[in-house]
Amino acid sequence: MAETNRYDISYGKARVPVYRIYARPLVGITPIPESSFTGRENTLFALEVDVEVFGDNFLSSYTEGDNTSVVATDSMKNFVLRQALAYQGATIEGFLDLLGNSFLDTYAQMERLRLTGRALPFSPAPVPLDTDVSRTPGTFASSTVLFSRSHDDYATAVLEFARAANGPTLTAHRCGLVGMQLLKVTGSSFTHFVRDSYTTLPERVDRPLFIYLDVFWNYGDATAMLAADASQYVAAEQVRDLIGVVFHQFVSESIQHLVHEMGQRMLARFPQISEVTFQAQNHTPDPAGVSPEDERVKVYTDPFSAYGLIQLTIRRGE
Protein backbone atom coordinates (compact mmCIF):
# COMPACT_ATOMS: atom_id res chain seq x y z
CA MET A 1 0.00 0.00 0.00
CA ALA A 2 2.70 2.47 1.07
CA GLU A 3 4.64 1.99 -2.16
CA THR A 4 1.74 3.37 -4.23
CA ASN A 5 1.47 6.58 -2.21
CA ARG A 6 2.66 9.91 -3.52
CA TYR A 7 4.18 12.59 -1.30
CA ASP A 8 4.66 16.33 -1.25
CA ILE A 9 7.04 17.26 1.53
CA SER A 10 8.75 20.31 2.91
CA TYR A 11 10.25 21.37 6.20
CA GLY A 12 12.15 24.32 7.55
CA LYS A 13 12.53 27.00 10.19
CA ALA A 14 10.01 29.79 10.78
CA ARG A 15 10.45 33.30 12.15
CA VAL A 16 14.19 33.44 12.59
CA PRO A 17 14.79 36.91 14.08
CA VAL A 18 17.72 38.88 12.64
CA TYR A 19 19.05 42.20 13.96
CA ARG A 20 21.96 43.35 11.82
CA ILE A 21 23.68 46.49 13.10
CA TYR A 22 25.17 48.88 10.51
CA ALA A 23 24.09 47.24 7.28
CA ARG A 24 24.94 49.05 4.06
CA PRO A 25 22.76 52.16 3.61
CA LEU A 26 20.09 52.05 0.94
CA VAL A 27 20.85 54.93 -1.44
CA GLY A 28 20.04 55.95 -4.99
CA ILE A 29 16.28 55.33 -4.89
CA THR A 30 14.55 57.09 -7.77
CA PRO A 31 12.19 59.74 -6.33
CA ILE A 32 8.46 59.74 -7.09
CA PRO A 33 6.09 62.72 -6.64
CA GLU A 34 4.09 61.04 -3.87
CA SER A 35 7.04 60.36 -1.56
CA SER A 36 10.02 62.09 0.00
CA PHE A 37 11.74 58.74 0.55
CA THR A 38 15.04 58.31 -1.29
CA GLY A 39 16.91 55.93 1.03
CA ARG A 40 17.64 54.87 4.59
CA GLU A 41 20.70 54.51 6.79
CA ASN A 42 20.09 50.85 7.75
CA THR A 43 21.79 51.42 11.11
CA LEU A 44 19.40 48.74 12.33
CA PHE A 45 18.46 46.19 9.66
CA ALA A 46 15.90 43.99 11.41
CA LEU A 47 13.75 41.22 9.97
CA GLU A 48 12.52 37.70 10.56
CA VAL A 49 13.09 34.92 8.05
CA ASP A 50 11.21 31.74 7.17
CA VAL A 51 13.11 28.92 5.46
CA GLU A 52 11.12 26.20 3.67
CA VAL A 53 13.03 23.40 1.96
CA PHE A 54 11.57 21.05 -0.67
CA GLY A 55 12.98 17.81 -2.05
CA ASP A 56 12.34 14.08 -2.29
CA ASN A 57 15.79 13.54 -0.80
CA PHE A 58 14.21 14.00 2.63
CA LEU A 59 11.41 11.46 2.11
CA SER A 60 13.24 8.65 3.91
CA SER A 61 13.23 10.70 7.12
CA TYR A 62 9.42 10.51 7.02
CA THR A 63 8.99 6.94 5.80
CA GLU A 64 11.94 5.21 7.47
CA GLY A 65 13.16 7.57 10.18
CA ASP A 66 16.43 7.97 8.26
CA ASN A 67 17.84 11.42 9.05
CA THR A 68 21.17 11.10 7.25
CA SER A 69 20.18 13.75 4.67
CA VAL A 70 18.30 16.03 7.03
CA VAL A 71 19.73 19.48 7.72
CA ALA A 72 18.54 20.31 11.22
CA THR A 73 16.28 23.35 11.38
CA ASP A 74 18.52 24.67 14.17
CA SER A 75 21.38 24.56 11.66
CA MET A 76 19.21 26.53 9.23
CA LYS A 77 18.70 29.18 11.90
CA ASN A 78 22.44 29.44 12.48
CA PHE A 79 23.04 29.56 8.72
CA VAL A 80 20.65 32.53 8.38
CA LEU A 81 22.38 34.41 11.20
CA ARG A 82 25.85 33.73 9.82
CA GLN A 83 24.85 34.99 6.39
CA ALA A 84 23.31 38.11 7.95
CA LEU A 85 26.74 39.01 9.29
CA ALA A 86 28.31 38.50 5.86
CA TYR A 87 25.58 40.32 3.92
CA GLN A 88 26.87 43.38 2.05
CA GLY A 89 23.53 44.60 0.67
CA ALA A 90 20.76 46.90 1.86
CA THR A 91 17.40 45.22 1.18
CA ILE A 92 15.35 42.26 2.36
CA GLU A 93 15.18 40.94 -1.19
CA GLY A 94 18.96 41.08 -1.54
CA PHE A 95 19.45 39.21 1.73
CA LEU A 96 17.00 36.48 0.70
CA ASP A 97 18.82 36.16 -2.63
CA LEU A 98 22.11 35.65 -0.79
CA LEU A 99 20.48 33.06 1.46
CA GLY A 100 18.87 31.14 -1.39
CA ASN A 101 22.05 30.82 -3.39
CA SER A 102 24.13 30.01 -0.31
CA PHE A 103 21.75 27.31 0.95
CA LEU A 104 21.68 25.49 -2.40
CA ASP A 105 25.44 25.87 -2.85
CA THR A 106 26.05 24.41 0.61
CA TYR A 107 23.49 21.58 0.80
CA ALA A 108 23.29 19.38 -2.29
CA GLN A 109 20.26 17.49 -0.94
CA MET A 110 18.08 20.61 -1.08
CA GLU A 111 16.24 20.66 -4.39
CA ARG A 112 14.08 23.78 -3.99
CA LEU A 113 13.75 26.53 -1.47
CA ARG A 114 11.22 29.18 -0.46
CA LEU A 115 12.45 32.07 1.67
CA THR A 116 10.21 34.68 3.28
CA GLY A 117 11.42 37.86 4.93
CA ARG A 118 9.34 40.22 7.06
CA ALA A 119 10.77 43.54 8.22
CA LEU A 120 10.73 44.26 11.94
CA PRO A 121 10.17 48.03 11.83
CA PHE A 122 12.06 50.32 14.18
CA SER A 123 11.92 54.12 14.13
CA PRO A 124 14.64 56.47 15.40
CA ALA A 125 13.67 57.93 18.77
CA PRO A 126 13.51 61.74 19.07
CA VAL A 127 16.26 63.08 21.34
CA PRO A 128 17.35 66.61 22.29
CA LEU A 129 20.33 68.05 20.46
CA ASP A 130 21.38 69.85 23.64
CA THR A 131 23.03 67.37 25.99
CA ASP A 132 21.93 69.48 28.94
CA VAL A 133 18.31 68.30 29.16
CA SER A 134 17.61 70.69 32.03
CA ARG A 135 17.32 73.52 29.52
CA THR A 136 13.86 73.75 27.97
CA PRO A 137 12.46 73.99 25.42
CA GLY A 138 15.09 72.18 23.41
CA THR A 139 15.68 71.28 19.78
CA PHE A 140 15.09 67.63 18.93
CA ALA A 141 16.44 65.34 16.24
CA SER A 142 16.32 61.64 15.40
CA SER A 143 18.70 59.51 17.42
CA THR A 144 21.36 57.60 15.53
CA VAL A 145 21.63 54.91 18.23
CA LEU A 146 18.19 54.58 19.87
CA PHE A 147 15.23 53.04 18.05
CA SER A 148 11.59 52.40 18.97
CA ARG A 149 9.88 49.20 17.84
CA SER A 150 6.84 49.82 15.66
CA HIS A 151 4.00 47.33 15.29
CA ASP A 152 2.49 49.09 12.29
CA ASP A 153 2.69 47.91 8.67
CA TYR A 154 5.85 46.16 7.46
CA ALA A 155 7.65 45.24 4.25
CA THR A 156 7.84 41.63 3.17
CA ALA A 157 9.30 39.54 0.35
CA VAL A 158 9.15 35.93 -0.81
CA LEU A 159 11.84 34.45 -3.08
CA GLU A 160 11.86 30.90 -4.44
CA PHE A 161 14.89 29.04 -5.76
CA ALA A 162 15.59 25.80 -7.61
CA ARG A 163 18.60 23.99 -8.99
CA ALA A 164 19.47 24.45 -12.65
CA ALA A 165 22.33 23.37 -14.88
CA ASN A 166 24.18 26.61 -14.21
CA GLY A 167 23.53 26.63 -10.45
CA PRO A 168 20.85 28.00 -8.14
CA THR A 169 18.15 29.94 -9.99
CA LEU A 170 15.54 32.39 -8.75
CA THR A 171 12.23 30.95 -9.99
CA ALA A 172 9.63 33.25 -8.41
CA HIS A 173 9.34 36.31 -6.23
CA ARG A 174 6.79 38.57 -4.57
CA CYS A 175 7.31 41.80 -2.63
CA GLY A 176 4.80 43.50 -0.40
CA LEU A 177 3.69 45.90 2.27
CA VAL A 178 1.42 44.29 4.84
CA GLY A 179 -0.77 45.63 7.61
CA MET A 180 -1.68 49.18 6.59
CA GLN A 181 -4.67 50.62 8.46
CA LEU A 182 -5.99 53.84 6.93
CA LEU A 183 -9.07 55.87 7.88
CA LYS A 184 -10.31 58.77 5.73
CA VAL A 185 -13.02 60.88 7.39
CA THR A 186 -14.61 62.23 4.20
CA GLY A 187 -14.38 61.82 0.44
CA SER A 188 -15.63 58.24 0.09
CA SER A 189 -19.04 56.98 -1.03
CA PHE A 190 -20.96 53.75 -1.53
CA THR A 191 -24.20 54.09 -3.47
CA HIS A 192 -26.31 52.45 -6.22
CA PHE A 193 -25.54 48.89 -5.10
CA VAL A 194 -28.04 46.04 -5.41
CA ARG A 195 -30.99 46.44 -3.05
CA ASP A 196 -33.33 43.56 -2.24
CA SER A 197 -35.06 41.98 0.74
CA TYR A 198 -31.69 41.18 2.33
CA THR A 199 -30.38 44.75 2.17
CA THR A 200 -30.28 46.81 5.36
CA LEU A 201 -27.22 48.92 4.56
CA PRO A 202 -28.13 52.51 3.71
CA GLU A 203 -26.51 54.31 0.80
CA ARG A 204 -23.81 56.71 1.93
CA VAL A 205 -22.92 59.60 -0.35
CA ASP A 206 -20.08 60.68 1.94
CA ARG A 207 -18.75 58.41 4.66
CA PRO A 208 -15.63 57.80 6.66
CA LEU A 209 -13.76 54.86 5.16
CA PHE A 210 -11.52 52.64 7.30
CA ILE A 211 -9.55 49.99 5.42
CA TYR A 212 -6.96 47.39 6.29
CA LEU A 213 -4.75 47.01 3.24
CA ASP A 214 -2.00 44.70 2.02
CA VAL A 215 -0.31 45.37 -1.32
CA PHE A 216 2.03 43.07 -3.25
CA TRP A 217 4.05 43.59 -6.41
CA ASN A 218 6.21 41.66 -8.85
CA TYR A 219 9.01 42.95 -11.04
CA GLY A 220 9.01 42.27 -14.75
CA ASP A 221 12.73 41.51 -14.45
CA ALA A 222 14.01 40.42 -11.04
CA THR A 223 17.45 41.87 -11.76
CA ALA A 224 15.95 45.33 -11.10
CA MET A 225 15.04 44.13 -7.60
CA LEU A 226 18.51 42.73 -6.86
CA ALA A 227 20.87 45.16 -8.60
CA ALA A 228 23.52 46.97 -6.56
CA ASP A 229 22.26 50.14 -8.22
CA ALA A 230 18.98 50.80 -6.38
CA SER A 231 17.54 53.18 -8.98
CA GLN A 232 15.01 50.53 -10.08
CA TYR A 233 14.29 49.16 -6.61
CA VAL A 234 10.71 49.67 -5.37
CA ALA A 235 10.94 50.63 -1.71
CA ALA A 236 8.03 49.76 0.57
CA GLU A 237 8.34 53.25 2.06
CA GLN A 238 7.54 54.78 -1.34
CA VAL A 239 4.61 52.41 -1.83
CA ARG A 240 3.23 53.36 1.59
CA ASP A 241 3.46 57.06 0.74
CA LEU A 242 1.90 56.59 -2.69
CA ILE A 243 -1.02 54.62 -1.27
CA GLY A 244 -1.64 57.36 1.30
CA VAL A 245 -1.54 60.15 -1.27
CA VAL A 246 -4.00 58.38 -3.58
CA PHE A 247 -6.36 57.71 -0.66
CA HIS A 248 -6.08 61.37 0.39
CA GLN A 249 -6.70 62.76 -3.09
CA PHE A 250 -9.16 60.37 -4.68
CA VAL A 251 -12.93 60.60 -4.18
CA SER A 252 -13.97 56.96 -4.46
CA GLU A 253 -17.32 55.30 -5.08
CA SER A 254 -16.23 52.08 -3.37
CA ILE A 255 -13.14 50.30 -2.09
CA GLN A 256 -12.98 48.54 -5.44
CA HIS A 257 -12.83 51.94 -7.14
CA LEU A 258 -10.13 53.08 -4.70
CA VAL A 259 -7.75 50.11 -5.04
CA HIS A 260 -8.03 50.27 -8.83
CA GLU A 261 -6.85 53.88 -8.71
CA MET A 262 -4.01 52.89 -6.38
CA GLY A 263 -2.96 50.13 -8.77
CA GLN A 264 -3.01 52.42 -11.79
CA ARG A 265 -0.84 54.94 -9.96
CA MET A 266 1.65 52.26 -8.91
CA LEU A 267 2.02 50.95 -12.46
CA ALA A 268 2.51 54.51 -13.70
CA ARG A 269 5.16 55.38 -11.11
CA PHE A 270 7.05 52.09 -11.23
CA PRO A 271 7.45 50.86 -14.82
CA GLN A 272 9.64 48.01 -13.53
CA ILE A 273 6.57 46.47 -11.86
CA SER A 274 4.69 43.91 -13.96
CA GLU A 275 1.90 43.11 -11.50
CA VAL A 276 0.30 44.59 -8.39
CA THR A 277 -2.17 42.92 -6.04
CA PHE A 278 -4.38 44.44 -3.33
CA GLN A 279 -6.11 42.70 -0.45
CA ALA A 280 -8.40 45.14 1.35
CA GLN A 281 -10.72 44.75 4.31
CA ASN A 282 -13.61 47.12 4.96
CA HIS A 283 -13.68 48.14 8.63
CA THR A 284 -15.71 51.31 8.09
CA PRO A 285 -17.29 52.40 11.41
CA ASP A 286 -21.05 52.63 11.91
CA PRO A 287 -22.65 56.04 12.59
CA ALA A 288 -23.77 56.58 16.20
CA GLY A 289 -24.74 60.27 16.38
CA VAL A 290 -24.69 63.68 14.68
CA SER A 291 -24.26 67.03 16.42
CA PRO A 292 -27.43 69.21 16.15
CA GLU A 293 -25.22 72.32 15.97
CA ASP A 294 -22.78 71.18 13.27
CA GLU A 295 -23.60 68.26 10.98
CA ARG A 296 -19.92 67.72 10.30
CA VAL A 297 -19.45 66.63 13.91
CA LYS A 298 -20.34 62.96 14.14
CA VAL A 299 -19.64 59.96 16.33
CA TYR A 300 -18.97 56.49 14.96
CA THR A 301 -18.35 53.11 16.52
CA ASP A 302 -16.82 49.84 15.37
CA PRO A 303 -19.01 47.82 13.00
CA PHE A 304 -20.14 44.19 13.28
CA SER A 305 -17.04 41.99 13.47
CA ALA A 306 -17.51 40.48 10.00
CA TYR A 307 -15.84 42.61 7.32
CA GLY A 308 -15.97 43.02 3.57
CA LEU A 309 -13.00 41.58 1.66
CA ILE A 310 -11.93 43.13 -1.64
CA GLN A 311 -9.11 41.75 -3.81
CA LEU A 312 -7.66 43.00 -7.07
CA THR A 313 -4.69 42.04 -9.24
CA ILE A 314 -3.64 44.25 -12.16
CA ARG A 315 -1.12 42.89 -14.65
CA ARG A 316 0.62 45.24 -17.02
CA GLY A 317 -0.48 44.88 -20.64
CA GLU A 318 1.89 44.14 -23.47
For the chain of 318 residues, list the mean pLDDT of each consecutive stretch of 10. 80 98 98 97 98 93 92 97 98 98 96 97 90 72 95 97 94 98 94 88 89 98 97 98 98 96 98 98 92 92 93 92
- Give start-end residues of each CATH 3.10.270.10 domain in the chain: 8-127+148-172, 176-315
- Catalytic residue positions, numbered: 13, 73
Contact in structure between 29 and 238 (CB atoms under 8 Å)? yes
User: What is the pLDDT at residue 2?
Assistant: 52
User: What is the pLDDT at residue 78?
Assistant: 98
Within a 13 Å sphere around the CA of 303, how many CA atoms are in the beta-carbon half?
15
User: What is the pLDDT at residue 115?
Assistant: 98
Query: Model's pTM, two decimal places?
Result: 0.93
Q: Look up the CATH superfamily of 8-127+148-172.
A: Urate Oxidase; (3.10.270.10)
Q: Which of 175, 178, 174 is nearest to 151 (CA)?
A: 178
User: What is the pLDDT at residue 5?
Assistant: 86
CATH architecture of 176-315: Roll (3.10)
User: What is the pLDDT at residue 199?
Assistant: 84
User: What is the pLDDT at residue 133?
Assistant: 63
User: Alpha-carbon distance 9 to 56, whole Å?
Assistant: 7
Contact in structure between 156 and 118 (CB atoms under 8 Å)? yes
User: What is the pLDDT at residue 139?
Assistant: 83
Contact in structure between 282 and 307 (CB atoms under 8 Å)? yes
